[in-house]
């Protein structure tokens, strides 16, 4: 079909343009699944939204409103009163990752977050955004200076330098920790479910998934919450102007990481 409709107009074929089809040059499964997840996200939001109405809202609209208000409260509580301007990016992370996680429970689909390539891409995206937010909020020099911690007397310069180095390292590995945490949990969930379902086929392949599905849904929601919450915390740490708020957000971060 591609040869007939597209490549024939240029006097060539897909094989001549890209080489013969092999495993090496095929589009990876996780790329296809992630594109499908993006399309599903748009479709599901549109489907739930329906025809917006204040007087007679649909069940889908009420569901979206409940999710919106919950996430909005989280953003404001973690980042601060001005944190709502970061809501669109945080909400995009939340909805897209949730859809990606739940795709693994649908026949013929795989969870794209079960690939480290996708989770690292999401982690890098979060990393780029919270650094951008910090630079926009504080200016380049102010953002770099915040890595040095509170202002100390001149004779404590070695301590300031040590704090600066530790903060740079800890910030630099955040994409790695975000990506590995999400990938490891989703990959482990799929592998465990698959191994248990294949213990005594075909009986376990039919009955076991039914009992494991609530646990899989729970893991999908928890991992979405962890990634989204940590992204909010990282934003709060770079845009916060008061040290107390940073300590509060950092404590939330440690607690979320421990639970994850």
Average pLDDT over residues 213-230: 92
Angle 19-23-25 from CA coordinates, rounded to 5° = 40
Confidence of residue 209 (pLDDT cuts 50, 70, 90): confident
| C-alpha–C-alpha distance, residues 160 and 155, integer Å | 10
Rg (CA), the chain: 23
- In the block, tokens 């649909």 appear at 58
Residues 38 and 96: beta-carbon distance below 8 Å: yes
Return the percentage of the chain with pLDDT > 90, whole number: 40
Kindly compute the dihedral angle of the four CA atoms of residues 53, 97, 94, 54, in this order, to the nearest 10 degrees. 0
How far apart CA 108 and CA 61 sit, in angstroms, is: 29
Helix (H, G, I), strand (E, B) or coil at 9: helix
**Is-contact 64 45, C-beta < 8 A?**
yes
Per residue in 128-152, pLDDT tens? 999 999 999 888 888 888 888 777 7
**Reported confidence tier of residue 241, pLDDT bands at 50, 70, 90:** low
Region 94-107: what's the mean pLDDT?
91
The residue count of the chain comes to 260
Decide if 63 contacts 48 (C-beta within 8 A). Answer: yes
Report d(CA 180, CA 178) in Å as an integer: 6
What's residue 2's pLDDT?
77
59-98, pLDDT tens digit by residue? 888 888 898 899 999 999 998 888 888 999 999 999 999 9
Q: What is the mean pLDDT of the chain?
A: 84
Mean pLDDT within 10-22: 82
Q: Which residue has the tokens 């039919």?
A: 206
Tell me which residue of 18, 70, 232 sits closest to 252, measured CA to CA: 232
pLDDT at 258: 46
- Asked if residues 185 and 221 have their Cβ atoms less than 8 Å apart, the reply is no
Q: Kindly write down the DSSP assignment for every residue of 99-136, as one continuous string.
A: HHHHGGGSTT---GGGSHHHHHHHHHHHHHHHHHHHHH
Provide mean pLDDT across the span 196-210: 76
Specify the pTM: 0.79
């Amino acid at each position: 079909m591609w040869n007939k409709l597209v490549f024939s107009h240029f006097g060539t074929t897909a094989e001549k343009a890209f080489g013969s089809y092999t495993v090496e040059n095929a589009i990876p499964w996780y790329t296809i699944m992630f594109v499908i997840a993006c399309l599903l996200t748009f479709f599901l939001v549109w489907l739930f939204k329906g025809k917006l109405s204040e007087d007679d809202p649909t069940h889908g609209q009420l569901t979206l409103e409940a999710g919106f208000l919950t996430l909005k409260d989280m953003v404001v509580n973690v980042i601060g009163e001005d944190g709502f301007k970061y809501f669109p990016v945080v909400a995009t992370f939340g909805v897209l990752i949730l859809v990606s996680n739940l795709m693994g429970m649908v026949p013929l689909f795989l969870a794209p977050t079960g690939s480290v390539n996708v989770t690292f891409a999401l982690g890098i995206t979060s990393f780029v955004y919270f650094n951008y937010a910090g630079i926009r909020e504080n200016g380049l020099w102010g953002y770099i200076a915040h890595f040095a911690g509170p202002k100390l007397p001149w004779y404590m310069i070695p301590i300031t330098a040590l704090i600066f180095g530790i903060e740079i390292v800890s910030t630099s590995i955040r994409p790695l920790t975000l990506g590995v945490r999400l990938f490891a949990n989703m990959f482990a969930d799929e592998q465990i479910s698959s191994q248990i379902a294949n213990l005594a086929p075909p009986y376990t392949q039919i009955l076991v998934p039914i009992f494991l599905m609530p646990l899989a849904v729970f893991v999908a929601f928890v991992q979405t919450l962890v990634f989204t919450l940590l992204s909010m915390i990282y934003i709060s740490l770079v845009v916060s102007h008061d040290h107390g708020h940073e300590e509060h957000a950092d404590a939330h971060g440690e607690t979320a990481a421990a639970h994850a």
